[in-house]
């Protein structure tokens, strides 16, 4: 079972409460309801959602929809549940604001009704990635730009930071931030799915943090090794002309210890020199001595280049 189906099963099993279910059914009808030949048809691949729609029509309009179950269009498709209603169509359309791009105020008057509308939206056209298997992503696909703008605004009233993207002849409202998707699951009261989602999110965040720290540590090690290697090369250039004696005693001492401990970091080398010579030297002081060595090595290299040119 996909994570989307898991969430829809949980939301579809919530208690149906009046009058909020008007808002929920309105969102469902607006997105997957079709009226053809004086028959309202709603189809879904989720059995729990189909049962919830059936019960909402029964409670709100005292209607028993006709239910047909058929196999999907190809081998991999699940069963499709088709609900058909052929009575009270005018009342249904007027009450549920069928095809309205902005639902009337009585359907979204307070926070409970807004949450119910969003629940219906997800049951009808929502999709959410399993956090264990792929990147964080929640989306809804609708067929109208004005309606997409309304939905994005509604979601963002709850601080979900949704965005809109045109995809062929559809409009996708999507949320990619992990924390916001968790907030969405909380809003639609998908508690068990939220616990699962948060457990995976915390684990992934921990793994990502560990990887970042490891990468940072490795980068520092690589930088330290490269710095030490360059210092050894500078000292070797000076040695070729027997120029270590050109250095003052403290700088010469740093050069000798660098050759003796070519893989030590500056901090480690400063501690070694301090311990073995009894003369305290800080990492900063040692760095200053290697700057002198580098400058002398550069002068020697430049002089050799000039000689070669002449």
CA dist., res. 91 & res. 292, Å (int): 89
Read off the pTM: 0.69
**Interhelix angle 283-309/266-277, nearest 10 degrees:** 110
Residues of the chain with CATH 3.10.28.10: 6-189
Residue with tokens 């993207």: 165
| pLDDT score for 73 | 66
Query: What's the pLDDT at 279?
Result: 84
pLDDT in 10s for each residue of the chain, 310 residues: 899 999 999 999 999 999 899 999 999 999 999 999 999 999 999 999 999 999 999 999 999 999 999 887 655 567 899 999 999 999 999 999 998 889 999 999 999 999 999 999 999 999 999 988 878 899 999 999 999 999 999 999 999 999 999 988 899 999 999 899 999 999 999 999 999 988 888 887 777 777 777 777 777 777 888 888 888 898 888 888 877 887 888 888 888 888 888 888 888 888 988 888 888 889 888 889 889 888 888 888 888 787 777 6
Count helices and strands (H / E) in the chain. Answer: 11, 8
Interatomic CA distance for residues 128 and 6, integer angstroms: 10
Which CATH number describes the domain made up of 6-189?
3.10.28.10
E-strand stretches of 218-280: none
Beta strands in 108-187 (DSSP E): 126-128, 138-142, 163-167, 170-175
């Amino acid at each position: 079972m996909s994570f989307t189906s898991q969430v829809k099963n949980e939301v579809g099993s919530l208690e149906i409460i009046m009058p909020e279910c008007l808002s929920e059914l309105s969102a469902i009808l607006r997105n997957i309801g079709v009226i053809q030949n004086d028959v309202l048809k709603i189809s879904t691949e989720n059995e729990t959602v189909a049962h919830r729609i059936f019960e909402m029509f029964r409670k709100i309009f005292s209607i028993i929809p006709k239910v047909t179950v058929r196999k999907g269009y190809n081998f991999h498709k699940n069963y499709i549940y088709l609900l058909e209603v052929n009575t009270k169509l005018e009342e249904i359309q007027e009450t549920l604001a069928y095809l309205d791009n902005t639902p009337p105020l009585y359907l979204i008057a307070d926070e409970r009704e807004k949450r119910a509308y969003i629940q219906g939206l997800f049951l009808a056209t929502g999709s959410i990635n399993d956090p264990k298997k792929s990147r964080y992503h929640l989306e809804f696909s609708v067929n109208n730009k004005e309606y997409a703008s309304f939905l994005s605004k509604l979601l963002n009233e709850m601080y979900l930071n949704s965005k809109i993207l045109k995809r062929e002849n559809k409009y996708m409202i999507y949320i990619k931030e992990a924390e916001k998707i968790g907030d969405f699951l909380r809003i639609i009261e998908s508690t068990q799915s939220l616990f699962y989602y948060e457990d995976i999110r915390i684990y992934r965040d921990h793994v990502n943090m560990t990887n970042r720290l490891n990468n940072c540590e490795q980068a520092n090690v690589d930088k330290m090794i490269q710095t030490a290697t360059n210092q050894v090369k500078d000292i070797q250039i000076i040695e070729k002309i027997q120029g270590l004696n050109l250095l003052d005693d403290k700088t010469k001492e740093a050069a000798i210890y660098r050759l003796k401990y070519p893989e030590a970091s500056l901090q480690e080398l400063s501690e070694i020199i301090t311990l073995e010579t009894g003369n305290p030297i800080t990492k900063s002081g040692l760095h200053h001595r290697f700057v002198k060595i580098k400058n002398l090595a550069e002068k020697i290299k430049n002089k050799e280049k000039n000689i070669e040119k002449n």
